[in-house]
Amino acid sequence: MQVVWVDGSRSRAVQAALVCGGRAVNKDVGSNGSSSSHISHTFQSSHLPLTPHWPVTVNLRRRGSCALAGRVSDCKYTAIRMCYTVPPTAIAAGGLQHGRTGDKHPSAIPPTLYPAEPLHLINIGADGEEAEAALSPTMSNLLTSRQAEELHKSLIAYLSACGHSTAAQAVRDDVNLPESSFDPATTKKYEGLLEKKWTSVVRLQKKIMDLESRTTQLQQELDSATPSSFAQRRNHDPKTWLPRAPARHTLQSHRQPITSVAFHPLFSSLASGSEDCTIKIWDYELGELERTLKSHTKAVLDVDFGGPRGNTLLASCSSDLTVKLWDPADEYKNIRTLPGHDHSVSSVRFIPSGAAGAPLSGNLLASASRDRTIRIWDVTTGYCLRTLRGHGDWVRSLSPSPDGRYLLSTSSDQTARLWDLSLPDTNALKQTFLAHHHVVETCALAPASTYPYLSNLAGLKKPPPATSPAEFLATGGRDKLIKIFGTNGICLKTLSGHDNWIRALAFHPGGKYLLSASDDKTIRCWDLAQEGKCVRVVEAADHFVSSLRWGTSVFKDPAVAEGGDGGGGGVGQVNGNAGGSAAEKEEQIRCLVACGSVDLNVRVFSA
């Protein structure tokens, strides 16, 4: 076999090592193309450029003689003029021809770089020999010696496990693997490894196919997009942004219906409670499950983030009659269990700091129960500080005011009630709202940003001051209606459109919209500037939508913005309720909505 490279018009000898019957034979190929061997072939083509440091295996067969095998070990990158190595494209193009050394090539070929790919060529020599040149990257160049050894052992273990002992012994002999290095313990170690690697490759191939499909989908969206649509998406106004299907992430892991969702005030964490007795913590940016919290023995009915400033906690309540506290800073350890209710606990809400007459309000947690009571807890001690009584049936939901002074509750007694937590228990009930004709499932106190719009519904010439904590509220019930009230008890507006029970309400932080979730599988967006007109219907789930939360806004203290100490930095709004005075803080609205459904999925909508 002769392989010759020519640099320009100057030839150069290449040392080819031939192996015959396992014995190495060195053969010098002269610069004039001559050789003492009768096996002298070259290949040329109009398509043949150059090859870079190509590891080559050459197999030769000569009629009536033994097989010869050799490897060119010192290939160099050169221009080719007269005799050539064989790149993949030459074979693919079908341009290979057989010729003798010294044949002239019609023109010089410019240098081109080709990747190492397997090559196979069969030609009949001028002297009648049959020569097969198989040029391919050798396995030793792809695997390290340790990887190759592990592959060999895996092959032998696989063959042995399948009962192919003869084949296993043949492989062991070929790779020179002694018995001592492949004892029963080693066999057990490598059993199943080959199958495991193979199935891993299949899984990776599926992931690649999924990613390719996603890439194609995104490319189609990119091709159909217009400059104006890109600008609209990039320059969306957080004060007017509304969720739109499809959801950015659909989070799947719960085995029973979702009952509640809550955003961490600072981090990209989302908690979901379910009837499967667990709480799951998700990274809503990545759409991935972070951990599962197990401690409740019955359905988890509600979850909420909040607590003392700088020490955010997660609270959960359950049909097992308890409220539990979890510490996100300590891997969500269950730090406290609060027993005391006599029936299922249906709702929990942290009470923001700043409530009048309640200096420890940052440590307060409210819980509502089927035992018809509302309890206020000190989360640092676990003590129940007070019990509010007044509802005649199951207390369904709670909503505290941004300053923590007022607490709104709804009940199966078809009423909503507003409590003033700065007053003693006997005088705490401030107002009862009567307008629904069925169970009142949910409620939301309106933030100050809604006052300019809701004051028009109330017929006010001037909106209330932003420092007034509880001027308007909304309730939703099983009568499929949403009611908007003033805190004087007057129903200002009834919003109809849902075809089933209203399960959750959330005011847009910008103040212009009210969002509602229903058992009709939709989220509806109501424009308060247009007297509550429904401006968007989002097909949010494949079953009842049981919960809804708007992403927590971030409030920055002026002192922080000016470089002051600010008492520890910005304060996160606790699931729609800002701590402290909103007038003194700069609000950064997050375009982020999450909902939970009976279809076992949590969905995250974002800009």
CA distance 437 to 414: 6
pLDDT one-digit tens code per residue, 546-570 = 999 999 887 665 544 444 433 333 4
Residue 466: C-alpha distances to residues 344, 403, 435, 448, 486 (Å): 36, 12, 27, 5, 15
Residue 140 neighbours by CB under 8 Å, 6+ apart? 148
Residue 524 neighbours by CB under 8 Å, 6+ apart? 497, 498, 515, 516, 518, 534, 536, 537, 538
Amino acid identity of residue 379, one-letter, is V
Using left for φ > 0, alpha for ψ between -120 and 50, and beta otherwise, residue 235 falls in alpha
pLDDT one-digit tens code per residue, 162-221 = 888 888 888 888 888 777 677 777 777 787 788 888 888 888 888 898 899 888 888 887
Phi, psi of 186 (to 5 degrees): -65, -40
> 485 has which bridge partners?
473, 491
Which pLDDT score, from 0 to 100, does residue 453 have? 94
Q: What is the pTM of this model?
A: 0.61
Looking at residue 23, the DSSP 8-state letter turns out to be E
Which pLDDT score, from 0 to 100, does residue 353 have? 75
Amino acid identity of residue 517, one-letter, is A
> 57 has which bridge partners?
71
CA distance 211 to 209: 5
Using left for φ > 0, alpha for ψ between -120 and 50, and beta otherwise, residue 29 falls in beta
- Of 45, 59, 61, 50, nearest to 6 by C-alpha is 50
Contact 297, 320 (CB under 8 A): yes
Residue 189: C-alpha distances to residues 123, 145, 177, 599 (Å): 46, 19, 16, 43
CA distance 258 to 250: 13
CA distance 178 to 298: 60
CA distance 535 to 511: 15
CA distance 148 to 160: 18
- Of 443, 433, 426, nearest to 389 by C-alpha is 426
Bond prior to 246 in cis (omega within 30° of 0): yes
Buried-state track 270-295, b at ≥16 Cβ within 10 A, e below 16: bbbbbbbbbbbbbebeebebeeebeb
Which pLDDT score, from 0 to 100, does residue 556 have? 65
Task: Report residues of the chain scoring pLDDT below 70.
Answer: 1-141, 180, 224-235, 354-361, 555-585
Q: Where are the alpha helices (DSSP H) in 225-317?
A: 227-234
CA distance 247 to 394: 33
Which pLDDT score, from 0 to 100, does residue 82 have? 33
Q: From the centroid of its chain, how far is CA 380?
A: 34
Looking at residue 80, the DSSP 8-state letter turns out to be B
DSSP 3-state of 449: helix
Residue 307: both structure tokens together: 């607590």
Contact 27, 35 (CB under 8 A): yes
User: How many Cβ atoms sit within 10 Å of the Cβ of residue 21?
Assistant: 9
